[in-house]
Every structure is written in C-alpha cells, then in structure tokens.
Chains A and B, each alone.
Chain A
Amino acid sequence: MDSFLALVLNGLDSSALILIAALGMVIICGLMNVINLAHGELIMIGAYTTFYVTQVLGYSFALAMVAAALVTAAAGAVIEVVVVKRLVGRPAETMLATFGVSVVLQQTTNLMFGAQSQYVAIPVEGKLAFGKVVVPYYNIFTVAFVAAVLLGTVLLLKETRFGKRVRAISQNRGMAECLGIDSSLVDTLTFAFGSGLAGLAGALVAPVKSVSPFMGSPYLVTSFMTSVVGGVASFFGTTVGSLMVGESTALIGGVSNDVLANIIVFLMIIFAIRFKPEGLFTKKEGR
C-alpha cells in the first residue's frame, strides 16, 4: 500500500510537469490553431535562462523563474512576428518553418554553451518521509506551482479583457476584427503567453533533469500527445490528459518497468485518439 501511494505521488509530480509543458502548447495550438514544433526549444530556453540567472549571475531561483518566463515570452513573440504571422492559415508550412526555428535554436544554444549538461542547483532541498514513502519537497513545490499557474491561466482567459479578446478571435476572427480588436497584436501576445508558460516549464525541470541543447524533443512529443488526447482547446481536458499520462507511466513503471510503461501509455493514447479523434474533452462547436 505504501509503495502504491509512493507511485501515485510520483505520478502526480510527472503529471504536473507534463501539464505545464502542455499548457503552452494548448494555448498556441488550441486558441491560435498553430502547430509550433519549436515548443520543446522554448522549454529549453526557459531552462537555460534559469541556469544563467542562478549559476552565472547568482540570483535567486524565484527571480530566475520570472526571467525564464519573460525571456521565453519575448522569444515567442519574435518567432510569431517573424515566422508564424506570415504563414497564417497554412499549417503544413507553419510546421516546417517552426521545425526550422527549433533546429536553429538547438544549434545556437550548442554553439553558445556547448553540448554538455549545465548545472542548476535545486532551490528546495530535503524530503518528506512517512512510512516507506519519500516525497522530495521540490516535488511538492512543483505540483503547487503548476496548480497555481493553471488556475492563473484559466482566470486570465475567462475574466480579463485580454482573455476575452483571445477567445473572441479564436471563435470568430472576422467578427472580432469588425468589433475593433487588433487581432494581429493579440496573436503575438497569445503566442508570447504560451511561450512564457513553456519557459516556466523549463525553469521547473532545470534543477531535476538535464539542461542541454537537445533536451526539448521529448517534451515536444509528450506535450503534443497530451494536448491532443485531452482535447486541444480544453484546459480541463489537458489536465485530465496529463494526469492520465503521468499516473499511468508511474504506476505501470512501478509495477513492471519504464520501457513497457512508455509502450502501454502510447498504445492507450492511440486508442483514445482512434475512438475520439477530437480529444476526450472538447467544446461543442457551434458554427
């Protein structure tokens, strides 16, 4: 029973990291209908910013997280203006162009910092131990922080004027423009916001995973899978999707091994998409 609890708690931590990585993609993919293949590299930029601010400049981790969000948001804005805006309505070309951006970002980071993994100190040391269960304090911080970010994002999109504009544009761009909403500016800000979330994800994983130029690809794959399974436009769906993926991997991995867990989880995802291609939770579209 103890180790079952341990597995569930580990799965919660994985789910939180998957969720915050996928949240950025859900905003960009779901609200803007843009498939951004440089998403993994945005996470990488967040992680490297955290490394730079804490190890090179010597500031606190909290400041590093803010910096990571802002720097990545700025990078996202640049990508949107230079690349994505010119390819509106052309998903295949957008994918190709953002893939090119991802390669450029990887190699630039490689040239600037080298291919070796960079050290980021863990900001919260120590663990909580009860019975046979061990939960590092950093895991608790991760889950709490991601929950807060999720809540903040949902509130931003539901209650603020900016959020309403974003949703208006995603539902009916022409009408929104008629009502005086600057859709081009809102697009850039939305992309920047999604990128900022990816930057936060990078900051969160930096102390416990590896910070290297090519760290982004696994996150891209997982984020994509999670947002598609959950329903690309639904935050609730993405949360459920992350929990599904995170907990299943942890539980199956705990009972057998991680390789088998990966296989089974991907099969589950294929099944889910096969029978519900629009995702498990979707908004009813009224057209």
Chain B
Amino acid sequence: MKKKLALFLAGAVLFSGLLAGCGKSAGASASGAQTVKIGVLYSLSGVTSVSEKQLYDGTKLAVQQINAAGGVHGKQIKTVFADYASDPAKAADKARKLILDEKVAAIVGTCSSSAVRAVKPVVEQYKSLLVYPQSYEGQMQSNNIVCVGCVPNQQAEIFVNWLLKNAGKKFFLIGCDFVYPQVENKLAKQYLAKGGGTVVGEEYVPYGSTDFSSVLNKIKTSNPDIIYSELTGDSNVAFYKQYAAYGLTATIASLTTNETVLKSIGVAAAKDSYICVDYFKNVKNPVNAAFVKEYKEKIKDGTEPTYAVVGGYNGMKFLAGAMEKAKDPSDTQQIIAAFKGLTLDSPSGAISIDPVNNHAHLYCRIAKVDGKGEINVIYESPKTIAPKS
C-alpha cells in the first residue's frame, strides 16, 4: 500500500512538472495581444541591494505611471522580475533566462559596473537590449546597452575642477576594490594633473568591508584637503561614521552618497561634505515636484527619492518612449533604433539620449550637506552635458 502511494505521488509530481513546463513555454512566446514583456533585473539581497532597491522603486513607479496612462501603443507593460542577489555571474544567467525563456523585448536593470559588464556579452550575443540606469565609470559602448546614468565627463570631471577652485588642492582618493572606483580614480588623477591638484593618497578596501581604521590612519598622516570617495553601500556608511569618530578635518567629496544614505550616516558625520550626482530631491522643476509627491504617496518605507530612484525611473520612461516611437513595441531592434536622439522631461530636467553613443545628455549638480544634515544644491550645470563614453 505504501509503495503504491509513493508511486502515485511521484507520478503526480512528475505530471504537474510536465504541465508547468508546457504552460510556461506556450505563454512565454512573443508578447501577447494586450501586453509587452519587459525584463526587470535587480538584486533584492546581498551587498548592492540597498542601491538596487532604489533603482527598482524608480522603475516600478515608472511602469505604474505608463500603464495608468494607457501603456505603449495601447498595450500594457508586463514586467518580469529577476533577482540576481548582487552576484554578477548570476546577473548574466538571469539576463539569459529573461531573453531566451521569457522572450522579453528589453531588460531594465543591473547596478554595479561588474554586473552590467557581465550582462553585456549576453545581451550582445542574443541581440537584445539592456537599459542601464546607474551612473558608472564609462568606457563601455554597446549597440545593445543604453546607459542613462552619468559618466565621468558629466560628473567627476566637473566635480574635481569645482573642488580645486573652491575646496582645496590635496586629494586622497578612496574606493572599494573593483572596476568603478579604480577607473574613476585613474580619471580623477588625470583631471587633477591638468587642474593643478595633487594626490596625497589612494586606497582601495575589500568590496563590502566596513573596517577603515588603517585607511583613516593613512588619511591622518597624509593630511589631505579633500577625501574623494566612490565608496558604496555598507562601506560608504561605515566610512562616514568612523571618519567622524576619528575626528578628521578633511572634507569628504562623494560621487555616490544620496539622501537615503545620509539618513543612515547621521548629521554629525555628514556635515559639510560634498556630493556630485545628476539629481537631488530638491531640484526645482514641475516634473520633479510631481515626481517627489508621487514617490512620497506610493513608497512609504522611510526612504527618499534619490538619483538612483530617478535613474531607474528615467530608464523605464526612456524605454517606454522608444517603444512608443517604434512601430512594433515588442521588436527589440526597432526599440534600439528609436532610442537615438530620444528626449524626456524627467525629474532631473529635460534630458536626451545621444544619437551616437547610447548614453544620456544629463545635468550635473553639486551639493553641500549643511549643519542640519540637509542637502543644499550649490552648483547646477547651465545645460545638459554631452556624454563621452
């Protein structure tokens, strides 16, 4: 009797597995009549999940807005979410699954430079499209990747020159040990050499490390004016806190800090530091006013709208614009072609996609954190800056 039961259960499991498999392949064909499938590839766990949650919130908000307004060509956008747990190898794997199994028209996603570079060969091999929403170190150009975040000539170059004029000449460069900080620091050294600044130190900590005691010692001995930082995630938060505990006087200038990170750091540690990104919550334009209002209504988890949220948002909005411009919104090649020169009235201003290198024309903004821990925008580029990939 037991044997028969076991056999029956095994058969039932196999049969349902078969059914599920069949159902999946039938439904995962080219988008149905009423929907277009878009892949969304972010991490909900692991080291980069804090930043990716922000990108994801922005993308989700954009999809809700687009679908509420009727979708693209009358079709609703159906998102297929894949979580790659901060592992670049998994990102490539999930991207492949999205393209081949789910047959998405395009993917919006990835965050760290390691992840996007791992996904690049996959989207190029299968001639798909990835919209990359995060600012990064540049030096990556692909017909199959559209980057809507800032690259060094829109961020670091302006920041370094502004700091040299207004904050000091001796720089200590610091970042986590992977491609993004290494390339950014290499470029920073070039900008400093041209602008008359000096590099008194350059340190890389293990990715995700939160112990900065030896680095802070080196900073103390080399006595810089500016600590130029591309630290991200937990390392970034821990660095500000320990910097405050050690009572150093150099000014921190960050390419990555945002409003939500500032809440984790606390006023004492973040006071008087500088940040340079393309968007801050208090940018003044009507699109941003509406955007911040909607963010506060829809997302009530104690976070703020940051440049990462806006990156995820703009990426999805640009994609919808390209899909609308294309004749068939589920034809990836048409969407890729439609990106050239595409414009968008975004929370960070009126921006556009460059017709040649698949990157975005963006504004550059520099802010100082005041004594109350609030962000004051002290510089805004008069118009958008063309990206040099």
Contact residues of A with B, CB < 8 Å? 3, 6-7, 10-11, 13-14, 106-107, 110, 114-119, 121-122, 125-127, 129, 132, 134, 136, 138-139, 205, 207-215, 218, 249-250, 253-254, 257-259, 261-262
Contacts and interface: CB of A to CB of B under 8 A. Distances in A.
Contacts of A262: 206
Contacts of B234: 117, 209-210, 212, 215
B203 A207 contact: no
Contact of B245 (A3, A14, A122, A129): A122
Nearest to A12: B213
Contacts of A207: 241
Contacts of A10: 213-214, 217
B297 interface: no
B209 A115 contact: no
Contacts of B209: 218, 258
29 contacts: A11-B213, A115-B44, A115-B53, A116-B261, A116-B303, A117-B234, A119-B263, A119-B266, A122-B244, A127-B247, A129-B247, A132-B220, A139-B245, A205-B210, A207-B241, A208-B238, A208-B245, A209-B210, A209-B234, A210-B210, A210-B233, A210-B235, A214-B45, A215-B234, A218-B209, A249-B211, A253-B215, A257-B204, A258-B214
Nearest to B246: A134
Given A116-B302, A121-B266, A211-B264, 11 more contacts: A6-B217, A7-B214, A10-B213, A132-B220, A134-B220, A209-B211, A214-B45, A250-B213, A254-B218, A257-B204, A261-B214
Interface string B30-59: 000000000000001111011001000000
Contacts of B49: 110, 115, 213-214
Contact-size category for B: 35 or more
A258 B205 contact: yes
B238 A116 contact: no
Interface in B220-245: 220-221, 233-235, 237-238, 241-242, 244-245
A257 B49 CA distance: 27
B260 interface: yes
Given A132-B220, A257-B204, A110 B44 contact: yes
Given A115-B49, A116-B260, A218 B210 contact: yes
A218 B242 CA distance: 18
A218 B241 contact: no
Contacts of B241: 122, 207-209
Contact of A3 (B210, B217, B237, B247): B217
B150 to A, nearest CB: 22
A226 to B, nearest CB: 14
B217 A209 contact: no
Contact of A258 (B203, B238, B244, B301): B203
Nearest to A254: B214
B168 interface: no
Choose among B209, B241, B246 the residue with the greatest number of A CB atoms under 10 Å from its CB: B241
A259 B266 contact: no
Contacts of A257: 203-204
Given A7-B217, A117-B50, A121-B266, A106 B45 contact: yes
Interface string B88-122: 00000000000000000000000000000000000
B177 A259 contact: yes
A220 to B, nearest CB: 13
A58 to B, nearest CB: 15
B265 interface: yes
Interface string B254-286: 000000110111101000000000000000000
B172 to A, nearest CB: 13
B208 interface: yes
A127 B245 contact: yes
Contacts of B263: 116, 119
A175 B237 CA distance: 51
Contacts of B210: 205, 209-210, 215, 218
B199 to A, nearest CB: 15
B303 A114 contact: yes
B323 to A, nearest CB: 30
B307 to A, nearest CB: 15
Nearest to B43: A115
Given A110-B45, A116-B264, A215-B234, A134 B214 contact: no
Nearest to A127: B247
A84 to B, nearest CB: 24
A119 B233 CA distance: 14
Contacts of B268: 125
Nearest to A255: B214
A122 B242 CA distance: 10
Contact of B237 (A129, A210, A214, A250): A210
Nearest to B215: A258
Interface string B184-225: 000000000000000000011110111101110110110000
Nearest to B212: A258
A242 to B, nearest CB: 13
A118 B264 contact: yes
A3 B221 contact: yes
Contacts of A121: 266
A214 to B, nearest CB: 6
A139 B245 CA distance: 9
A114 B302 contact: yes
B113 to A, nearest CB: 17
B236 to A, nearest CB: 8
Contacts of B208: 218
Choose among B213, B220, B221 the residue with the greatest number of A CB atoms under 10 Å from its CB: B213
Contact of B247 (A119, A134, A258): A134
A114 B247 contact: no
B205 to A, nearest CB: 5
Contacts of B206: 258-259, 262
A202 to B, nearest CB: 13
